[in-house]
Amino acid sequence: MPEPPAQFLHLARTQSASGACSLRRVTRPVTARAKILGGATGELRKMRRTMREVFGLERLRPGQAEVIRSVLTGHDTLAVMPTGAGKSLCYQLPALHLPGTTVIVSPLISLMKDQVDKLSEAGVEAAQVNSALTVGERRAELGRIERDESEFIFTTPERMADPAFLETLRGSEIDLVVIDEAHCISEWGHDFRPSYLALGSAIKTLGSPPVLALTATATPSVAGDIRKQLGLPSMRVFNTGIYRDNLRYEVVRVTNELEKRAALARVMRETEGAGVVYCAPPGRPRRPCRSRRCRRRPRAWPGPRCASRSRSSRTHASCARRAACASSSCDPG
């Protein structure tokens, strides 16, 4: 495949955001993948247009072009890229230029909802099936999938182990399966989830479409285990490293609880935007948030089994509050 133009390889957001683009699928014939494999420059022009009109981007970030090229050519791919490096675009952009539907598996329901909302705002049809939906909502989403109305289907690893759900997916042409937080499949990883172990079998049930596994953290042994557990030994690996120039760790030394609260209040006053305050021990998430020096007091955000968690996450995601207090059992996603 010829090298794409230089402007296709680097990052830069457009100065003026494009309006939402109304589309069901970016028009492409069934032979779209064959055209791309042949290196048709017309497809590259279409992708650059999609970047501008749908995603408001002019250029790609480092590493994205290589991953997208691998996906378009039908290779099973593992991308190890830091948080904020644009892993989502690595499947969203090529998916709009492939003939079928893309299935995204993620354990983070709040992040899943965020992705669906953003795609919908851009005029792209996206469905989600997870435990946070009501019975009626789940029935409606499954109906959309059965009618082949969604370009993207977001779901959880637990749902991918449901034979009935897999049978529903089999009714659509699946052109790509994306596995987010792919390190969760490895017993060598720091966040192993047994539900991920069934994904290899689920992918075979769907006809073994190409797989894109995404993670922000994977040692060589974890990367090898991802290949093994998915049964994809020839999976291509793209590792851009984990360094982020906008991320740093700092330790503020305090001698007592009063100093800790004062330090927290100072950080909140001096920091712009919204954030999460993680508290220990897990059973007492409200404790550090009582300081009267916090002009806009954070909302307590309990662990995953609390019924108010969904409401709290929606409030925080909409920036209705500057900060959320969370126990360590609350996932950053």
- Structure confidence at residue 329 (pLDDT): 57
- Structure confidence at residue 46 (pLDDT): 81
Q: How far apart are the first and last CA of the chain?
A: 36
Region at 231 (left for phi over 0; alpha for psi -120 to 50; beta for the rest): left
pLDDT in tens, 217-236: 888 899 999 999 999 999 99
Alpha-carbon distance of 61 to 47, in angstroms, equals 15
- Structure confidence at residue 320 (pLDDT): 54
| Domains delineated in the chain | 6-239 (3.40.50.300), 257-327 (no CATH)
In terms of C-beta density within 10 A (0-12 exposed, 13-18 middle, 19 or more buried), how is residue 166 classed?
middle
Mean pLDDT in order along the chain per 10 residues (333 residues): 40 32 39 44 73 86 90 94 88 91 92 90 92 93 94 95 95 95 83 90 96 91 93 93 76 91 88 80 50 44 46 51 69 50
